[in-house]
Amino acid sequence: MSQKTLISVVIPCFNDGAYLPETISKLKTQTYTNFEIIVVNDGSTDEATLEVLNLISDKGVTVLHKENGRMSSARNFGVAHAKGTIIAALDADDYFDPSFFDKAIKILESKEEVAVVTSHIQMFGDFHKVARPRGGNAFNFLFSSECPACAIVRKSCWDEVGGYDEEMKMGYEDWEFYIRITQKGWYVEVIQEKLLYYRQTADSTLKNDTVPRRQEIINYILDKHKDWYIENLKKLVANKQVLYTESRIAYPTIFTMFMNRLKKKYL
C-alpha cells in the first residue's frame, strides 16, 4: 500500500518521562513508516521528565513546550503544529500495535465517511482488561463514549469541529469531541482487534479527576449539547427503540430523566 499520506502523531506529556521513551520506541515499530512525532510538554514539573525531553534527539521527533493547560489544550497545540493530513492522538504512556497505522490508513482511504479509526483496547499495568468500543454514528455517543482518545483522526475533520474543548480539563473531553464529530455526519470505525495498549496506573486522570467529578462533567456535556440531545431522544422515542443499559432502562425513561435535568428538577 502507498505510504504517501503523512501521519502526525501528537503526544501530550505531563510528568510522563518514565514512559515516553518506550512509547516513542514502540512507534518506530509501525509497519507504516511515513509519520512525524510531536511531543507536547504540557508544563511538566518533574525534573526527570524534563531531562528525558531535553535528551530527545531522534530524527522525526519534535518537542514543543507550553504552559500547563491539561490534555485538551496540549492535543490542540500539537495539532496546530502538525504537518500531516492525518492525526494520530496518543498518550505518553500508551502504545499502538505495529500494524495499527497501516490498517487505519487503509480504512480512511476506502471509506470517505469515516473520520476516526480506533480499535479494541488491551488495558495493562495495575490491572488487565479488554475494552471493545462500538464507534459508529451519533446515536452511539449519546450515553457513553464509544471511542478512546487514542485514535486516528482526519485533520480536516479535527479542524472542522474546532478540536478539543479546552474548557474540559477533568476528563471526558474525548467523548465530547466525538459527539461534535458525529454530529457532522462523520462515522467512527473500530477495528475488531486489540491494537491499542492502554496503561492503567494509580495516577490516571480517569481515576483521580474524572470519576470523582463525573456528574459535573456530564452536566457540562448535556448543557452544551442540550438541543442535540433533545432532538435525538425524540427520534429514538418516536421510533420505539430501546436502550438496554446495566439497569435496563428504556429510552422513554431516559428521556424523562433528561428533561427533568434540563428543567432543573434535580441535579
Which pLDDT score, from 0 to 100, does residue 1 have? 46
Please say whether the beta carbons of 20 and 44 come within 8 A.
Answer: no
Q: Which amino acid is at 216?
A: E
Q: What is the DSSP track for 105-163? A: HHHHHH-TTEEEEEEEEEEEESS-EEE----BSGGGGSSS--S-SSEEEEHHHHHHHTS
7-211 to CATH, choices 3.90.550.10, 3.40.50.2300, 3.40.50.300, 3.40.920.10:
3.90.550.10
**pTM assigned to the model:** 0.86
* Alpha carbon distance 13, 15 (integer Å): 6
Check residue 189 and give left, alpha or beta (phi > 0: left; psi -120 to 50: alpha).
Answer: beta
Which pLDDT score, from 0 to 100, does residue 233 have? 82
Nearest partner of 43 among 78, 73, 14, 18, judged by Cα = 14
Nearest partner of 65 among 74, 76, 57, judged by Cα = 74
Please say whether the beta carbons of 179 and 139 come within 8 A.
Answer: no
Nearest partner of 147 among 173, 170, 165, judged by Cα = 173
Which pLDDT score, from 0 to 100, does residue 213 have? 81
pLDDT digits (tens, 9 = 90+) for 144-200: 899 999 999 999 999 999 999 999 988 899 999 999 999 999 999 999 999 999 988
* Alpha carbon distance 194, 131 (integer Å): 9
Nearest partner of 97 among 218, 193, 221, 202, judged by Cα = 193
231-245: b or e for each residue (b if 16 or more CB lie within 10 Å)?
ebbeebbeeeeeeee
**Sequence spans of domains, the chain:** 7-211, 225-267
In the chain, which residues have pLDDT < 70?
1-2, 203-209, 239-267
Strands 129-131 and 187-200: what pairing? unpaired
